[in-house]
Amino acid sequence: MDQAIADGVDIISLSIALQRLPYYDDVIAIASLSAIEKGIVVVCSAGNDGNSNSMNNGAPWITTVGAATLDRSLTASMTLDNNLTVEGTSYFLVSAYITDKPLYYGKETVKKATCDFGALDPKEVDGKVVLCDNTTEFDVGQQKEHGL
């Protein structure tokens, strides 16, 4: 890091995470503080070790980045005319009673059934409640963004 400071860089990115130590023993925290004092932004990875409530490179002068997953979902249930209840996920967060709307499930192909991007014809699903099978990976956010 000393050489990067001497070279006059603007940003230092460290995709390493060492064992968690007190700041006074942590070589990354100490070197990063020297860089910050010279006006250099220091970005470090949060690491992959430890429990879900911990991270590495957590000194307050370091910008720490990491990936995560949600431990919850926006659940919803839908009861059909025949009293069958379908449990799932929805972006519609309020309780609603939708009547007289046909249900669309694209059983013809896996891409339609999973609401794969571009698989649903907007004219075909217009005015319908669309049921997407999420037993395989698909991006609900991308479908929402495109109005599907």
The total number of residues shown for the chain amounts to 148
What is the rounded average pLDDT of the residues 71-99? 75
Does position 145 have pLDDT exceeding 70, yes or no? no
Interval 2-31: pLDDT, tens = 899 999 999 999 988 787 888 889 999 999
Please calculate the CA angle 11-12-17 and round it to the nearest 5 degrees. Answer: 145
Sign of the alpha-carbon torsion through 82, 85, 89, 95: positive
Position 48 scores a pLDDT of 76
* CA pair distance 34, 113, nearest whole angstrom: 55
In angstroms, what CA-CA distances link 35 with 59, 62, 147?
13, 10, 46
State pLDDT tens for residues 24-75: 899 999 999 999 999 999 999 988 776 666 788 889 999 999 877 666 677 7
Question: Helix, strand, or coil here: 35?
Answer: helix
Domain boundaries, the chain: 2-65, 75-145
Q: Name the token pair of 67.
A: 């990936």
Q: pTM for the whole thing?
A: 0.47
pLDDT tens digits, one per residue of 91-101: 666 666 777 88
Q: Give the containing element (helix H, strand E) for 63.
A: strand 63-65
* pLDDT (0 to 100) of residue 94: 66
